[in-house]
Amino acid sequence: MWQGAKERYCIVDLVGLNEDSKRELYCKKMPPGLVLLSGQQYAAEGAAILYKDEGVVIQLEDEELKSLKAFVEQFTVLKKLKVKNGIYI
């Protein structure tokens, strides 16, 4: 069983790996073709930056990550995310 946002639960029917060897979860009650992919698995390598219609994963050392966070602080934050069960909420 997987617990997602808003305390909703889903029974995981299948666990697999995507083409990047990142874990994906499949629940029968989800819409066709949709899987739960943990973006946090990508961000663990440094950072995952999402844009409106694309994104990038970058590898960062600790000091580089600290610099990136400081850079981002100059922008208006619309929402802060937390990780719960490997999923951003």
Residue 48 · residue 57 · CB < 8 Å: yes
pLDDT of 17 reads: 87
Residue range(s) defining the domain that contains residue 10: 2-88
Please, are residues 55 and 73 in contact by the beta-carbon 8 Å criterion?
A: no
Residue 45 confidence (pLDDT): 85
Q: Which bin fits 84, alpha (ψ -120 to 50), beta or left (φ > 0)?
A: beta
Which position has the token pair 């390598």?
Answer: 45
Query: For the chain, what is the domain count?
Result: 1
Length of the chain: 89
Residue 3 has pLDDT above 60, yes or no: no
Other CB atoms within 10 A of residue 32 CB: 4
What would the pLDDT profile of 39-87 be if each residue is shown by its tens digit?
Answer: 788 888 899 898 989 999 999 999 999 999 999 999 999 988 887 766 6
